[in-house]
Structure 1
Amino acid sequence: MTDTHEVTVRSVHQMTPTVKQFVLESDGHRFDFAPGQHTHVRFDRAESPAEDDAESGDDEVVRPYTSTATPGTERITLAIKRYPDGTASTWMHEREPGDTVEIEELGGNLYLRDLDADAAFVATGTGATPMIAMAKQYVREGTGRAHFFFGEKDEEHVFYRETLDQLAADYPDFEVTYVLSEADDDWEGPEGHVQDHLDDYLDDLGSWDFYVCGVPQMVVETQDYLAEQGVSDSRVYVEGWEGDEVSDDSEE
């Protein structure tokens, strides 16, 4: 039986037009986990105004979300994008300070493996949430170089940009690159798919560890591209379910 905890919503912050940040606090439980790992939010389907036909027969909704805060305190922080028909994201976006939420202990496959290796974080959308936590850890404890690649459709939807830019300003061995797929005429940075720009910024791809999270198609394409470039599978880390999503041609 998975351990669960009842946490209280302490604050809610609108980060972008579609993403809210939630600070959740337990009553005495300290969250110990590796930065990059995720929890699961659980609630009764009857509480949600949205419908998900694929799971309409289930009484309970369970969805994974990653803490962008570092471990060791009674608080975790979740950045959640609301999808028009998203059962869990709609329910979470209606939470207010003082509300309670049931969550599981944190776990998962995304966490830093080697703090002495150069690390590339490749993310799209809210797939950046585990990368934020890992980047914070890397600049404190890592001994190599780190490069954060963040793909979004436009500047308005890039969240945690101030945090990333501050890390880049404070740590000479940390760089960040934003790649926009629907950039306006004023954008001077790279455009298109984030995975298409790795070779533009990284020398000797095979010497880097890659942590990849985001839209399943991007994750799979990044894995395929890195394999073609001779990067060992043992240096590419993902959650592990993305290939099934692409094979099933399904969407979350």
Structure 2
Amino acid sequence: MPQIHHEGDSYVTEGDESVLDCLLRHGVSVSYGCKAGACQSCLMQAGEGALPPESQKGLKDTQKYDKQFLACMCRPQADLEVAKLRTVAKTYTSQVIEIEHLSAEIVRIRLAQPDGFSYRAGQFINIVTPNNVSRSYSLASVPELDDYLELHVRRIPSGLVSTWLCDHLKVNAHLTISEAMGQCFYVPTRHEQPLLLIGTGSGLAPLYGIARDALRQGHSGPIHLYHGSSHQDGIYYVEEMSALADQHPHFNYTPTLSRPHELPKIQLGRAHEMALKSVNRLSGWRLYLCGHPEMVQGTKQKAFIAGASLQDIYTDPFTFTQHPPKAV
């Protein structure tokens, strides 16, 4: 019978037993809920060994790519190495190699990639300040194209971490960062599938990485990227994105401002509204939504109503934490 290898121990399955039931029978503490593949509480990650297709049914392509599976639905036909999903992130020390103010609101920070650090374009890392305050920032860089980690930091009024990063961080300083996390990245499946990328403000960061990664991997379907803001300082990388569109005819870039303006190349309107109006039905599309939480959640709902599968909608909502000013 197949054996389950977990944290140095091996357990023999009985009959048509699932990985979850085998581990529970041997007294291994495993998170679970419905035991029917619906709640996804029993998600685990496989190492060596083949996963039955039914064990990944209903998961996103990014989860399948990471060899995540539902333990309750996994009935292996051969030996399988399994592990619980990580709950505590590894940390690394990284050196600041470049700081550039792209606008009054957006600062680009490039970090040296630490030894042993791996990531996919569009994932995020946590940055820890000297005062042990942590915030998440998405990666705009592509590991196969860039020899650094690129972050786009939006200055938040009274924001502890963003203010420190934008105003006080210096080149050559060292930062404590976490390992890369998140499921908002490109997976090279269905190369002909149309992609719709929508971001607001610094939500362009992961989309910039995802778009370049998709193009690098030969994605042949149309790619539409809409980047919006309510004010001029939230729009940046216009020349870089336009150049990318010039190089790749199937990549379309639309920068937008929701307030009246006279800027060339920038359309008037809200990015998510313009994006959804450009497509009648989203069945078969893959979407990446990054930026303001209300935009992300609202657009996700509208995209689902318009026919997009939830498995094809990847989100990265940017939550903002403001620190109230001290009383005088």
Give the TM-score of the pair, scaled to structure 1.
Answer: 0.83
Contact kept? 1:31, 1:75, Cα under 8 Å: no
Q: Which residue of 1 aligns with 2:170?
A: 96
Name the counterpart of 1:144.
Answer: 221
- What is the 5 A alignment of 1:7-156? 7-26=94-113, 29-45=115-131, 60-71=132-143, 75-93=148-166, 94-113=168-187, 114=189, 116=191, 117-141=193-217, 142-156=219-233
1:158 to 229, 235, 256: 235
Instruction: Kindly provide the CA deviation profile for residues 40-93 of structure 1, in whole angstroms up to 9, marking residues without a partner as x.
Output: 101233xxxxxxxxxxxxxx2111111211115652111101111101101111
Q: 1:251 to 1:7 in 2, by over 3 A?
A: closer
The two structures, once aligned, show a CA RMSD in angstroms of: 2.2
Question: Relative to structure 1, is the Cα distance of residues 26 and 210 closer, same or farther in structure 2, using a 3 angstrom cutoff?
Answer: closer
Q: Which residue identity lines up with residue 90 of structure 2 in the other structure? A: D
1:175 maps to amino acid: N
Aligned match for 1:171, one of 248, 262, 284: 248
Aligned residues: 230
Q: Which amino acid aligns with 1:99?
A: A
Structure 2 CA distance for aligned equivalents of residues 26 and 223 of structure 1: 33
Counterpart residue identity of residue 32, structure 1: S
Alpha-carbon distance in 2 for matches of 1:26, 1:186: 36
- Partners of 1:198 and 1:74 lie apart in 2 by 32
Return 10-19 or 115-124, whichever deviates more.
115-124
Shift of 1:192: 3.2
Structure 1 counterpart of 2:12 = none
- How much has 1:189 moved relative to structure 2? 5.0
Decide whether the 8 Å contact of 2:91 with 2:177 is kept in 1.
yes
Unaligned runs of 5+ in 2: 1-87, 323-328
State the SS of the aligned residue for 1:238: strand
Aligned partners of 1:214 and 1:125: how far apart in 2?
Answer: 6
Secondary structure, in 3 states, of the residue corresponding to 2:268?
A: coil
Looking at structure 1, the residues matched to 148 and 290 of structure 2 have their Cα atoms a distance apart, in angstroms, of 23
1:26 positional shift: 4.3
SS at match of 1:139: helix
Distance 2:266 2:89 in 1: 44
CA displacement, residues 185-220 of structure 1 (integer Å, 9 cap, x when unaligned)? 456754332221124333542121000011000011
State the secondary structure of the residue aligned to 2:170.
coil
Structure having the higher Rg? 2
Q: For structure 1, which runs of at least 5 residues remain unmatched after alignment?
A: 46-59
Structure possessing the higher relative contact order (Cα contacts under 8 Å, 6 or more residues apart): 1
Percent of aligned positions with the same letter in both sequences? 22
**Could you say which residue in structure 1 is the equivalent of 2:277?**
200
Query: Is the Cα–Cα contact under 8 Å of residues 208 and 235 in structure 1 kept in the other structure?
Result: yes
Q: Counterpart amino acid of 1:34?
A: R
Within 2, Cα distance between the matches of 1:67 and 1:182?
28
How far apart, in 2, do the equivalents of 1:175 and 1:161 lie?
A: 12
Question: TM-score, normalization: structure 2?
Answer: 0.65
State the alpha-carbon separation in 2 of the partners of residues 100 and 182 from structure 1.
39
Look up the match of 1:4.
Answer: 91
CA contact (8 A) 1:6 1:26 kept: no
> Shift of residue 157 of structure 1?
2.8
